[in-house]
Amino acid sequence: MRAFLSILPLAAPILLTACGDPAPTYIDQAWVRLSPNKDRPSAGYFVAHGGDAGTQLRGVMTDYALKVEMHESISEGGVMKMKPIDSVDIPAKGKVSFAPGGKHLMIWGINDTAISRGKMTFTFLLANGDRLLVDAAIQKPGAAEPAMAAGEGHE
């Protein structure tokens, strides 16, 4: 028994590392492309990274616009169409890209304060109850994608 007790302090750090907090789901590379026509919706993009446990993205909100919806571009009979989506699975340790030509946010009525600041904050609502606050850079119509989004995350 003494031998066991004498090695317990040496084993404790190893045992405690196994009890660490699980890796969280997070969102990055968020940006918005403003519509050239103020009466038409703008588009939002980002990458959702799954943590140790899978979850679902159930919605996105912001105080800087009138309305936000998740949409997906799909090809039906050779014609590209957009359809609203209610939720998106975020697999454990996987990632889901919201990128031009695929899943994206439709954002109506972005206010002038956000536009002049060049960014807006979104709240991402997850099925596990988490709410993630993420700032998104605002790109003027015709501007290139931000460098952070241009290479990585498009799947």
Predicted pLDDT of residue 3: 54
For the question of whether the overall pTM of this predicted structure is more than 0.85, the answer is no
Distance of alpha carbon 64 from alpha carbon 39, whole angstroms: 16
CB 50 within 8 A of CB 92: yes
Residues 70 and 60: beta-carbon distance below 8 Å? yes
Give me the residue label for tokens 């050239």. 36
Q: Are 33 and 42 in contact (CB under 8 A)?
A: yes
Residue 7: the pLDDT is 56
- Higher pLDDT pick, 142 / 88: 88
Query: In this structure, are residues 72 and 102 in contact, taking their beta carbons and an 8 Å threshold?
Result: yes
Q: 141 falls in which pLDDT band (50, 70, 90)?
A: confident
How far, in Å, CA of 140 to CA of 35, rounded?
8
Tens of pLDDT, residue by residue over 9-40, are 555 555 555 567 888 999 999 999 999 998 99
Lowest mean pLDDT among 25-34, 49-58, 81-90, 137-146: 137-146
Residue 149 pLDDT > 60: no
